[in-house]
């Protein structure tokens, strides 16, 4: 069964460093998302991406964040200068198309900022 994959599973970085989190969405899906989940809290929407551009972003997704689909398969989230409060699980999700809102999540990347 096709699934969303994410790498790395765990990333440790120093405050102020740049990180890139990578995702491979399900191959025929058209809509892509990033969410984050701070330990013990709910899943929070960050950004949605369709047709090679951001379609919506939350207030969390400030200028330190960017997303890119550099080729036909990868979808990346870049955090330019990490802060301690960026420590969280980051989930990528994808959705097949226009007439369904069913989003399928990857296993997540645990980001630890020291």
Partner 1 sequence: GQQLNQSPQSMFIQEGEDVSMNCTSSSIFNTWLWYKQDPGEGPVLLIALYKAGELTSNGRLTAQFGITRKDSFLNISASIPSDVGIYFCAGQSTKTSYDKVIFGPGTSLSVIP
Among 42, 62, 63, 84, binds partner 1 (CB under 8 A): 42
The smaller minimum CB distance to partner 1, of residues 82 and 103, is found at 103
Among 11, 44, 60, 96, binds partner 1 (CB under 8 A): 44
Provide the b/e sequence for 64-73 (b: ≥16 CB within 10 Å).
ebebebeeee
Total of residues contacting partner 1 (CB under 8 A): 25
* Per-residue binder mask for partner 1 (CB under 8 A), 53-72, x = binder: --xx-x--------------
- Residues 110 and 13 sit within 8 Å (Cβ to Cβ): no
Among 43, 60, 66, 69, binds partner 1 (CB under 8 A): 43
- Distance separating the N- and C-terminal Cα atoms of the chain: 37
CA–CA dist 69, 77 (Å, integer): 9
CA–CA dist 103, 111 (Å, integer): 22
Residues within the interface to partner 1 (CB under 8 A): 4, 31, 33, 35, 41-45, 48, 50, 55-56, 58, 91, 100-108, 110
């Amino acid at each position: 069964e096709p699934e969303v994959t994410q790498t790395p599973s765990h990333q440790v970085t120093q405050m102020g460093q740049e990180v890139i989190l990578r995702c491979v969405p399900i191959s025929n899906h058209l809509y892509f998302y990033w969410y984050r989940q701070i330990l013990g809290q709910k899943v929070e929407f960050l950004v949605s991406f369709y047709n090679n551009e951001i379609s919506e972003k939350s207030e969390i997704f400030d200028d330190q964040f960017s997303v890119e689909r550099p080729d036909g398969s990868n979808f990346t989230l870049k955090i330019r200068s990490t802060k301690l409060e960026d420590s969280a699980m980051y989930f990528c999700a994808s959705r097949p198309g226009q007439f369904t809102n069913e989003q399928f999540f990857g296993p997540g990347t645990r980001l630890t900022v020291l």
